[in-house]
Structure 1
Amino acid sequence: MDWTSLKKTSVWAGGVQWLFFIFANIVVIPLTVGQAFHLDHDKIGSLLQLSFIITGIACVAQAWIGHERAIMEGQSGLWWGIILTLVVTTSASGMSLKTLGGSLAVGIFISAALTIVIGLLGIGPYIAKLFNDAVMGVFMLLFGFQLIQIFLKGMLGLPFGKSTDASIDLKTTLFSIVLSALVIIVSIKAPKRFRSYALLVGIIVGWIGYALIFHTKSMSHTSGISVKVFPLGNPKWNTGVIVTAVIAGLLNLANTFGALKGTDDMYGNETTKGQYRRSLTISGLFQGIAGLLGLVPYAPFVSSIGFLQQTKIVDRLPYIIGGFLFFLVGIIPPAGHFFATMPLSVGSAVLFVAYVQLFNSHRSFIKNVSSNSLNVYRVAIPVFVGVVIMTLPSQYFSTMPDFLRPVAANGLLVGIILVLILEHVYNWNQLEDDDQDHEQKAENG
């Protein structure tokens, strides 16, 4: 890493863009989780500032001593979706939010410990073999569906949680569509040297435009950071929630494998065993911290692939600058207060464009999976089942046992579990070879 590059304006511009990318990815998460658990404004504000501080430290730690790549370390989208789904499904069964929050904390601690052990023992590369091209292709597609669904809601002016009386805000929707189109135009039509900053342009222009059009009011100011352990509920034991959390923690490893494998071509080398070991250990440590502070657990962001493809900035230095600036935003209350006023629709519209690139990542994995009329099931079944479950109301799963319901109601989890089972209980490549042999014999008469 060339520290003399600090003198270059482009490096600092890239760092600022990383700051906004990290911010746009993170700011929505504590806000929605806090609202889902019915926390008051001060507690949500504390979660937000702690998210900034911990995320900034995690990003710098991964770039410096972890995987040593410009891959954002943040609150996992997989975990985020599962937690929001659990709030809906468990409330339907009569479980209190305090019990859910406390059980989640226990499950997160267990999954954090497992992740650290996997990292320290160096068995990450062996587990990574389970996540072959077919598994990663399905994961990228379903992960994209889940997150795009969240950001589309933000663009349409809909609440992120469950609401029966919500309706599309046409003014917000039109504004979001125009903003997304602007980001796409800049990333495609702007001079090559400016295309890398399309997301930054979108956030700045969108934020200013939103303030002028919608005449937004500032949030109330908080004077400092209040640290409270287990803000979502003291540790409790609920088998269904804890089992779901542990499964989520294990499947969350796909984020590490996806992010590192997905950037191998950009860095011109395959991820080493040491990178896997350090990355998983650091992720596990920050997962444990997240469980203690009521934050969504951490993992490398697969969406970083889309960001890197969009900006072409793969050097670590701008990323480290962005992570450090994000840390400063968290420890300076006025700065955190200012950034927290960014409209969710602006962040959603910009991230929508960045996350669409996950489809490219899906294609890069799935193109290595041979497919025909006999083995198409290996990918088609997990994708179709996962997507359909994502669209089903949580009430449909109320007849299932408590320990099974949280897993079964999450389309992303079900899809990943299905593709892992299908890939490793049957030799699909052998099926293809047998089919080719039959065809050749038929041609030879």
Structure 2
Amino acid sequence: MRQTNWFSFGFTTAQWFIFLLANALSLPIVIGQIYHLPPEEVAGLMQRTFFVIGLTSFLQGWLGHRFPLSDGPAGIWLGIFVIMGELAANTGQQPEEVLRVMVGGMIVAGLLILLLAGLRLIPKMLGIFTPLVTGSFLMLLAIQLSGVFLRGMMDIRTVSGTVRWDLVGVSLVVFALVLCFTTWGKGWMRSYAVLIGIVVGWAGFTALGYQSNSFTHSGFFTLPEFLAWGGPIFEPGMVVSAIVVALILLSNLIASTNAMQQVLTGEAKVAPSVLTRAGVWSGVATILSALFSTVGMVPLTVAAGFVEMTGQKRRGPFLTACLALAGVALIPVVIGFLSKLPGPIAYAALLASFGQMFGLGLHGVLKEPLDPRRTRILGLTLSLGAGMMFLPASLFLSMPSVLQSFFSNGLLVGTVICILFEQLWPPNRSKWAKN
């Protein structure tokens, strides 16, 4: 019996480790390509990402929400990184400076989350993030990222500029594979769809002669670099954006903890004290992400589905897997190997998983009837938010920096528009829309 218990503990820990790895593997490759980072910096980013995910997930599970609920790169932060990287490429701004601005923005967001949690205001903010606001945000995020991911997945060229259509075909196979597994897969195939797609795609690229850039590493043990992108820059426009992002992260935190509470106990909502603790450590996680120069972390809602599928509700294996991931991040040989993942494969896997985001957003919007008021707000949010994405970045260069950063980000513009209309146009005045 004792041997069976140890086997069960070890097997569950391995499942959690693979789940954590699958949700972290693609992001450093994508960020590295957008900001044109050399191979050694991509490996460093991957090391820091693994380390922070393992550390913050452990702290949340031990001291924060105390659920087997893993942290992972926040979609909103990934979107901001992608948008700022594209903006820098179009305006000639140095990528290194943009990354330092992102560090400053994450520190501001983390401090604001800490403040709101310390004042016990998080449970009182639920009224701001209505289903219409959160649903519209997810739909805009899917629209914003889809073009970037699709271009990264298909724009594979030789040195002479010729498109490698054979490699593009492999990327499309990975996209279709991950999409099919996440949509129709059962059990472990659905949970590990991204990891399966990455393995198949990587093997296909290798068979076709694709060679990733490599670097030499030395030593068996290496600590992650502190402030690898340099000291923070607190640019006014990013500070304003970070405040909005912090509020959106809180809605994600609430949704994730509620989903896990439902799976673990059957109750629909978590206690205010749990939200407060989770908020404190979510703020800490965001600040740690900034200090270790990676993308901001947030509890992943998809982890609730993983627990529901496996039926493993114990914290012990989860916490052990978190420590294991943080430990693996300290071994350069492992990180050096994983950093060779072809960029197009990372884009393809992320595009397939992010493709469901629009549907989730639409489902959230439809939780309440689409009366004339909500229909108009949704239409204005999507049309203005998505419309801003197609405007040239040079259009805003003459604006003050605080306005430039805001208006060049259609995701933030649309979200703010939706929040303002939801708060300033009460439902009981929906009769105006009929006149």
Match of 1:128 among 116, 121, 126: 126
2:23 is matched with 22
| Deviation digits for residues 413-438 of structure 1 (CA, Å, limit 9, x no counterpart) | 11111111010011135425996xx9
Match of 1:204 among 188, 199, 202: 199
Following TM superposition, by how much is the alpha carbon of 1:357 offset from its aligned partner in structure 2, in angstroms? 2.9
Cα RMSD (Å) of the superposition? 3.6
Following TM superposition, by how much is the alpha carbon of 1:212 offset from its aligned partner in structure 2, in angstroms? 1.5
Does the CA contact (< 8 Å) of 1:112 and 1:285 recur in 2?
Answer: yes
The alignment covers a number of residue pairs equal to 425
| Deviation digits for residues 200-219 of structure 1 (CA, Å, limit 9, x no counterpart) | 43232222222212343562
- Describe how 1:398-413 pairs up with structure 2 within 5 A: 398-413=397-412
Does 2:165 match 1:170?
Answer: yes
1:349 is matched with 348
Aligned equivalents of 1:191, 1:292: Cα separation in 2: 39
Paired letter, 2:231:
N
Does the CA contact (< 8 Å) of 1:148 and 1:352 recur in 2?
Answer: yes
Q: 1:14 to 1:356 in 2, by over 3 A?
A: farther
Partner SS, residue 392 of structure 1: coil
Following TM superposition, by how much is the alpha carbon of 1:134 offset from its aligned partner in structure 2, in angstroms? 0.9
| Deviation digits for residues 198-250 of structure 1 (CA, Å, limit 9, x no counterpart) | 33432322222222123435622322546554333434453333333344334
Between 1:218-227 and 1:365-374, the stretch displaced more is 218-227
Paired letter, 1:412:
L
Does the CA contact (< 8 Å) of 1:49 and 1:331 recur in 2?
Answer: yes
Match of 2:229 among 223, 227, 232: 232
Aligned equivalents of 1:185, 1:45: Cα separation in 2: 30
Aligned equivalents of 2:247, 2:291: Cα separation in 1: 19
Aligned equivalents of 2:320, 2:280: Cα separation in 1: 23
Following TM superposition, by how much is the alpha carbon of 1:68 offset from its aligned partner in structure 2, in angstroms? 3.5
1:221 is matched with 216
Does the CA contact (< 8 Å) of 1:55 and 1:74 recur in 2?
Answer: yes
Q: 1:355 to 1:82 in 2, by over 3 A?
A: closer
Aligned equivalents of 1:383, 1:405: Cα separation in 2: 20
TM-score normalized by the length of structure 2: 0.83
2:83 is matched with 85
Percent of pairs with identical residues: 22
Does the CA contact (< 8 Å) of 2:26 and 2:349 recur in 1?
Answer: no
- Describe how 1:313-352 pairs up with structure 2 within 5 A: 315=313, 319-320=318-319, 322-352=321-351
- Describe how 1:406-421 pairs up with structure 2 within 5 A: 406-421=405-420
| Deviation digits for residues 165-190 of structure 1 (CA, Å, limit 9, x no counterpart) | 98865333321222232334445666
Q: 1:315 to 1:243 in 2, by over 3 A?
A: same
Does the CA contact (< 8 Å) of 2:104 and 2:232 recur in 1?
Answer: yes
Following TM superposition, by how much is the alpha carbon of 1:261 offset from its aligned partner in structure 2, in angstroms? 4.6
Does 2:178 match 1:183?
Answer: yes
Match of 2:112 among 101, 114, 126: 114
2:7 is matched with 7
Aligned equivalents of 1:393, 1:49: Cα separation in 2: 35
Partner SS, residue 299 of structure 1: strand
Unpaired runs of at least 5, structure 2: none
| Deviation digits for residues 72-127 of structure 1 (CA, Å, limit 9, x no counterpart) | 42333322332343345467667655554444444432322111111222211112
Match of 1:75 among 73, 76, 84: 73
Does the CA contact (< 8 Å) of 1:303 and 1:354 recur in 2?
Answer: no
Q: 1:155 to 1:126 in 2, by over 3 A?
A: same
TM-score normalized by the length of structure 1: 0.81
Q: 1:353 to 1:217 in 2, by over 3 A?
A: closer
Aligned equivalents of 1:88, 1:395: Cα separation in 2: 12
Q: 1:251 to 1:12 in 2, by over 3 A?
A: closer
- Describe how 1:145-156 pairs up with structure 2 within 5 A: 145-156=143-154
Partner SS, residue 74 of structure 1: strand
Does the CA contact (< 8 Å) of 1:241 and 1:406 recur in 2?
Answer: yes
Match of 1:252 among 249, 252, 267: 249
| Deviation digits for residues 307-332 of structure 1 (CA, Å, limit 9, x no counterpart) | 64996667465654553342232111
Between 1:12-21 and 1:324-333, the stretch displaced more is 12-21
Partner SS, residue 248 of structure 1: helix
Partner SS, residue 210 of structure 1: helix
1:390 is matched with 389
Between 1:229-238 and 1:208-217, the stretch displaced more is 229-238
Aligned equivalents of 2:26, 2:333: Cα separation in 1: 20
Does the CA contact (< 8 Å) of 1:55 and 1:73 recur in 2?
Answer: yes
Aligned equivalents of 2:149, 2:199: Cα separation in 1: 18
Aligned equivalents of 2:142, 2:318: Cα separation in 1: 23
Partner SS, residue 331 of structure 1: coil
Paired letter, 1:239:
P
Between 1:426-435 and 1:147-156, the stretch displaced more is 426-435
Following TM superposition, by how much is the alpha carbon of 1:16 offset from its aligned partner in structure 2, in angstroms? 4.5
